[in-house]
Amino acid sequence: MALTDRRALLSSGSEPGGGDPDGLVAILERTLSGDPGRSLAGGVVRQTVQALGRAIVAGRYAEDGPLPTETELAAEYAVGRNALREAIKVLAGKGMIRTARRYGSRIRPRPDWSILDPDVLAWHLQEPDGIGRFLVDIADLREIIEPRAAELAALRATAEEAEEIVALAARLAVETMPQVLDTDVRFHLAVLNASHNRLLSGFARSLDVLLRVQFVVSAHGIAPEFAYSASADYHMGIAEGIRGRDPEKARGAVMAMLTRNRGIAEKVAAPGGPL
């Protein structure tokens, strides 16, 4: 999804740390509604995709096991067989279902699912441990990718790219919700692209989705003391390291920020955590 397609993702005006699961799900739906990875199906097919997809993620049907027959599923979800078939096609495209003649439909093993598909990601976040686990998983991923991207950006960024990164960091110190979240995402994507590594830059769309979901969850889904913060000082440290051609400083600032994020994620994920 392009950045401009998502600028309204936080226009709801909800306060950070609202802790309303239904409200959070609605915000996530708006956050991801324009993403190309989402199904274009509408009406009853869309409703069936949502209901069956959530049931699969929740484990109602055995992983790597058969789905009930088409007749049984149509009755369970109160839809016609044509709508059910279309819904199964959509879920097959998300890697969740495998179908074949004389084989029927089976749930694919969880590692085969398209976890970065916005629908699949949203369904996971609705699980009881979904938010905490997501925050820890994204902390792991960001620690793998972003410190090295910042090092490379310090070595390879053009002067114009470095100044843009500094300008975005400066905006984080003065902007308010919801604009600040968009600027935060733009900052991290700018660093990724300034690495001038084609594979890292190719990950930008996925990181865009993940960061936006992380920031929405942090702003609206957890207790206020752990809610989203722009962390302007950390970002400016990264930016100054890149502009100053100091890869160690850039990497260190990224790691300091991500260490803070991990601490919050692990507290949220702990049993009885502050959701």
Question: What is the torsional sign of CA 55, 207, 212, 134?
Answer: positive
Distance CA 245, CA 166 (A): 13
- Whether 107 and 124 map to the same domain: the answer is no
Q: How far apart are the first and last CA of the chain?
A: 28
- For the whole model, what pTM was predicted? 0.80
Boundary of a domain, candidates 113, 148, 171? 113
Tens digit of each residue's pLDDT (9 = 90 or more) over 70-128: 999 999 999 999 999 999 999 999 999 999 877 789 999 999 999 988 889 889 988 88
% of the chain surpassing 70 pLDDT: 83
Q: Are residues 165 and 261 in the same domain?
A: yes
Whether residues 103 and 148 fall in one domain: no
- What confidence score (pLDDT) does residue 15 get? 42
Judgement on whether residues 98 and 211 belong to the same structural domain of the protein: no
Render pLDDT for 3-44 as a digit per residue (tens, 0 to 9). 333 333 333 334 444 444 455 556 666 666 655 455 555 689
Last residue of a domain, one of 113, 134, 153: 113
Positive or negative, the CA dihedral 88, 92, 97, 101 is positive
A 10 A CB-CB count for 2 gives 11
**Cα(180)–Cα(220) distance, rounded to whole angstroms?**
14
What span, in angstroms and rounded, lies between the C-alpha atoms of 161 and 187? 11
Among 44, 54, 39, 40, smallest CA distance to 82 is for: 44
d(CA 124, CA 144): 22
Is residue 19 domain-resident? no
Segments forming the whole domain that contains residue 60: 39-113
Q: Share the mean pLDDT of the chain.
A: 86
pLDDT of the residue at 34: 55
Provide the number of structural domains found in the chain: 2
CATH for 200: 1.20.120.530
Q: Which of 75, 90, 113 is the last residue of a domain?
A: 113
User: Do the beta carbons of residue 49 and residue 38 sit within 8 Å?
Assistant: no
Domain membership of residue 159 (yes or no) is yes
